Amino acid sequence: MQVIESSKTYDVAIVGSGAGGGMATKILSEAGFDVAVLEAGPFFDPAQDEYRTQLRWPWESPRRGASSDRRSFGDFDAAYGGWNIEGEPFSNAPGTNFWWFRSRMLGGRTNHWGRISLRFGPLDFKRKSVDGLGDNWPIGYDDVKPYYDKVDKLIGVFGSKENIHNEPDGYFLPPPKPRLHELYYIKGARKSGIPVIPSRLSILTKRINNQRGSCFYCGQCNRACSAYADFSSGTCLIFPAQKNGGKVELFTDAMVREVTTNSEGKATGVNYINKADRKEYHLKAKVVVMAASACSTARILLNSKSSVHENGLGNSSGLVGHYLHDSTGASRSVFIPELMDRKTYNEDGVGGMHVYTPWWLNDKKLDFPRGYHIEVWGGMGMPGYGFGFNPNDLNKVTGGTVGGYGDSLRDDIKKYYGATMGVSGRGESVPQRDNFCEIDHEKVDQWGIPVLKFNYQWTEHEVKQAKHMQDTFEEVLDATGGILLGDKPGADRDYGLTAPGQIIHEVGTTRMGDDKKESVTNKYNQLHDCENVFIMDAGPFVSQADKNPTWTILALAWRASDYLVDQVKKRNIV
Amino acid sequence: MVSGCSPNEEAATQQPVANELPGYGRNEHEKQHDREVLAEEFLNEHELETIAVLVDIILPSNANFGSATDAGVVDFIDFIVKDMPYHQLPIRGGIAWLDIHSNKMHNKVFKDLTIDQQKAICDTIAYPGKTESELMAGERFFTRMRNLTMTGYFTSEIGIKDLGYQGNRPGVWDGIPADVLSEHDVDYEPEWLAKCVDQSKRTEIAEWDDEGNLLT
């Protein structure tokens, strides 16, 4: 079978259509470049009814919204795929339990994410200077700040000015008022001396332009918004780029296998499998932007071996795939008797929490490095599959009968509806050289492409951090006046620390730096080894704070795109 | 496109495709899965009749709302055991267990017993922690059926109404109703409220000064 050549040479081939790929598409097409965007999954637009899950009722799904191998977060979640993708496996080395969430579709995981949009602060770029562990970024907050500002204004994020040094303020839309259970959290946190502030989510509580609507409070951002009132890459970056008259050609179901290079080692385009006809195509491009997700990008680079790039493209340091790291996570929940037999009303609000706790102990000496923020959940949500299971287990706490049958089960359900609340910590891990993904040479996916194998162990830092989370959760939830649920996970369960990958913030596989031997890209996301290849997903992250990576992916992709345009203009590339 | 269809063929193409559900945002891979599941059969007539009896014992109608079968719970369970095959053996085996148990006691299968006889059996398997050890398999089965009944009911149109859930519609969230605040003896902090959105300006396009202060 012969590789089918594209007749045209594009200025830029962008691999992946998530946050980084979307931003690159917008900035580069608006700069006049002829852009090809390659996405490994199908087209998706939440405004079109055939794709819409927003405002659907549970009974519209025959499995009532349950999760499945086809959608890990349930039928109504916008993310296709998830922990498993049929025909596209990956491996874990013995002793590793890495979870890898992939969403093959236009916009990728931005269609369903939590919209938690936090800037990294000055300390977050220089953690080695604080605790001596890991490495500093080659750039600091001041380098990225102008781009965070631009992202805030372009995409929209609500929040509040708080003047907290390491939680920089931005150009915020006003936040929504807290829900009832969130007031109970605020009460508990105040008693425990822990700060709570309005959350910072990329959801439009006000309009920011005439192309996107404002939030109508269905609480379903994870389903992707038909009014484009939250951020996803397709709705806020790629479609606008197309409408602005940019030259943007979209290749969906295009599974990129490798970046092709010439005899001098420069990139000439990408080879991809068209999933529709299973044939291999070569798309020619003067510049390649990789934004397939930290791990998928590492996989493609490692699979792009040539005589010039013997260890894979960009891998002369041997570091492609290394320093892979995810956020830490742990959770606890509480039953609040005062919330029993609640009056029901519509409290859907925005998708996700209205309040949260930023990390508050930067100045304190602790037995672990770095920190975490606390997310809050609860309320009178829409039932889905699983609602009503063990309908009166809480009778054990309040002293009623457990089990049974008949009309009284209705009373039990209503008694406890909206009376539980939970908190989750999301923390910063310390990147480790020995945590990495590599090519599993014994296994290919259904497209014939060698798959990834993960090697990942948490260190004592993350375990101790999880212990601190559990102690904090216990104190705060106790102070809400509620009764804690379940057992407090102890050392035998690593204090409830999530498995690596489960928080879906995998970053670091192509980290940036000034030293070619210790990093994969320079401080502008450009491969040290190949000047016309840029990495614009979260691969270049040196560390990732306790903050969700998306806002920083967007800011750095914009910054790298500006640099790319400038380098082409100066004829330093091509 | 050139159309050579006779009227009959045209009519045929307009028929709803067998085993095709109304759209709920599925991609092609998912549509294919649903078609395959819908084409399967697992539970037989006797099993479905037994389930219908059991789910209405678990959740009967009351003065205001219909029963589990009224809410479509039997169809839901019929589908879910095919979609989640791990339910199959416990439910098939559980129904068989229930019939054997009923036969031993009354020489009839469960669905043919009087309602009092049926409830008397349920009383022995419906209360975890109080079940005799030789009936534990029955308790496990009953718990599963109660879970599926409750979830099937409260995810149905009837059940959502019964629950009183009032969301899943476009609206404007402007805080907790005043009577709820006072009932729970909580209130918003004035400094916090001052940061929050003024919903009368939600459709005005945001503008900021250079310090990030919202002007609109």
B153-187 pLDDT per residue, tens: 999 999 999 999 999 999 999 999 999 999 999 99
pLDDT of residue B20 exceeding 90: no
Report if residue B178 sits inside a domain: no
CB pairs below 8 Å between A and B: how many?
A: 253
Q: Which three-class secondary structure state does DSSP give residue A335? A: strand
Minimal CA separation from A364 to chain B, in Å: 27
Give the pLDDT band of residue B10 (cuts 50, 70, 90): very low
pLDDT value at residue B17: 53
Residues of B within 8 A of A378 (CB-CB) are none
Report if residue B196 sits inside a domain: no
CB count within 10 Å of CB B21 equals: 16
Touching check for B39 and chain A: CB below 8 Å? no
Nearest neighbour of B165 by CB, restricted to A105, A184, A344? A344
Amino acid at A332: R
Among 3.30.300.280, 3.30.565.60, 3.50.50.60, 3.40.1160.10, name the CATH number for the domain at A1-54+83-92+102-115+228-318+437-456+508-574. Answer: 3.50.50.60
Chain A: residue nearest B66 by CA?
A407
Angle of the B45-58 helix axis to the B73-83 helix axis, nearest 10: 120
Give the DSSP per-residue string, B66-89. --TTTTTHHHHHHHHHHHSGGGHH
Dist. CA A323–CA B33, nearest whole Å: 38
Closest listed residue to residue A558, CA positions, set A536, A542, A574, A539: A536
Average pLDDT over residues B108-130: 98
CB count within 10 Å of CB B96 equals: 15
pLDDT value at residue A367: 97
Report if residue B51 sits inside a domain: yes
Question: Facing residues of A82 across strands?
Answer: A102
Instruction: Give the model confidence (pLDDT) of A344-376 as tens digits.
Output: 999 999 999 999 999 999 999 999 999 999 999
Dist. CA A147–CA A556, nearest whole Å: 7
Q: Quote the mean pLDDT of chain A.
A: 97
Residue B41's domain comprises 34-163
Question: Facing residues of A92 across strands?
Answer: A454
Split into its structural domains, chain B has a count of 1
pLDDT value at residue A291: 98
Minimal CA separation from B113 to chain A, in Å: 18
Percent above pLDDT 70 for chain A: 100
Give the pLDDT band of residue B14 (cuts 50, 70, 90): very low
Contact between A426 and A372 under an 8 Å Cβ cutoff? The reply is yes
Average pLDDT over residues A513-521: 98
Percent above pLDDT 90 for chain A: 98
Q: What 8-state DSSP symbol labels residue A209? A: S
CB count within 10 Å of CB B22 equals: 6
Cβ of B197 and A175 within 8 Å? yes
Closest listed residue to residue A106, CA positions, set A263, A253, A8: A253
Q: Which three-class secondary structure state does DSSP give residue B148? A: helix
Structure tokens at B203: 């459709």
Cβ of B192 and A178 within 8 Å? yes
Q: How far is CA A494 from CA A92, A325, A330, A470, A497, in A?
A: 20, 18, 10, 10, 6
Dist. CA A6–CA A284, nearest whole Å: 6
Touching check for B117 and chain A: CB below 8 Å? no
Among all chains, which residue has been given the structure tokens 């105040």? A190
Give the pLDDT band of residue B104 (cuts 50, 70, 90): very high
Dist. CA B125–CA A259, nearest whole Å: 63
Report if residue B210 sits inside a domain: no
Average pLDDT over residues A265-287: 98
pLDDT value at residue B18: 58
pLDDT of residue B8 exceeding 50: no
Predicted ipTM of the assembly: 0.95
Contact between A27 and A35 under an 8 Å Cβ cutoff? The reply is no
pLDDT of residue A322 exceeding 90: yes
pLDDT of residue A568 exceeding 70: yes
What DSSP element (H or E) covers A261?
strand A254-261
Touching check for B201 and chain A: CB below 8 Å? yes
Amino acid at A94: P
Give the pLDDT band of residue B9 (cuts 50, 70, 90): very low
Residues of A within 8 A of B196 (CB-CB) are 174-177, 198
Chain B: residue nearest A155 by CA?
B206
Contact between A170 and A119 under an 8 Å Cβ cutoff? The reply is yes
Report if residue B216 sits inside a domain: no
CA dihedral A126, A132, A138, A143 (to 10 degrees): 10
Q: How many CA atoms lie within 13 A of B80 on its CB side?
A: 26
Report if residue B123 sits inside a domain: yes
CB count within 10 Å of CB A55 equals: 16
Cβ of A344 and B164 within 8 Å? yes
Chain A: residue nearest B30 by CA?
A70
pLDDT of residue A481 exceeding 90: yes
Give the pLDDT band of residue A1 (cuts 50, 70, 90): low
Average pLDDT over residues B64-78: 98
Report if residue B90 sits inside a domain: yes
pLDDT of residue A453 exceeding 80: yes
Dist. CA A107–CA A233, nearest whole Å: 5
Touching check for B104 and chain A: CB below 8 Å? no
pLDDT of residue B6 exceeding 50: no
Average pLDDT over residues A37-60: 98
pLDDT value at residue A67: 97
Minimal CA separation from B4 to chain A, in Å: 28
Residues of A within 8 A of B201 (CB-CB) are 206
Chain A: residue nearest B54 by CA?
A405
- Going through A462-572 in order, the beta strands assigned E by DSSP cover 483-484, 533-535
Cβ of B180 and A86 within 8 Å? no
**b/e burial code for range B82-94 (CB count within 10 A of at least 16 → b):** bbeeebeebbeeb
Percent above pLDDT 90 for chain B: 90
Q: Are strands A267-274 and A279-290 parallel, antiparallel or unpaired?
A: antiparallel
Dist. CA A148–CA A555, nearest whole Å: 5
Structure tokens at A172: 């915020």
Amino acid at A329: G
Average pLDDT over residues A394-416: 97
**b/e burial code for range B194-214 (CB count within 10 A of at least 16 → b):** ebbbebeebeeebebeeeeeb
Residues of A within 8 A of B188 (CB-CB) are 177-178, 183
Report if residue B129 sits inside a domain: yes
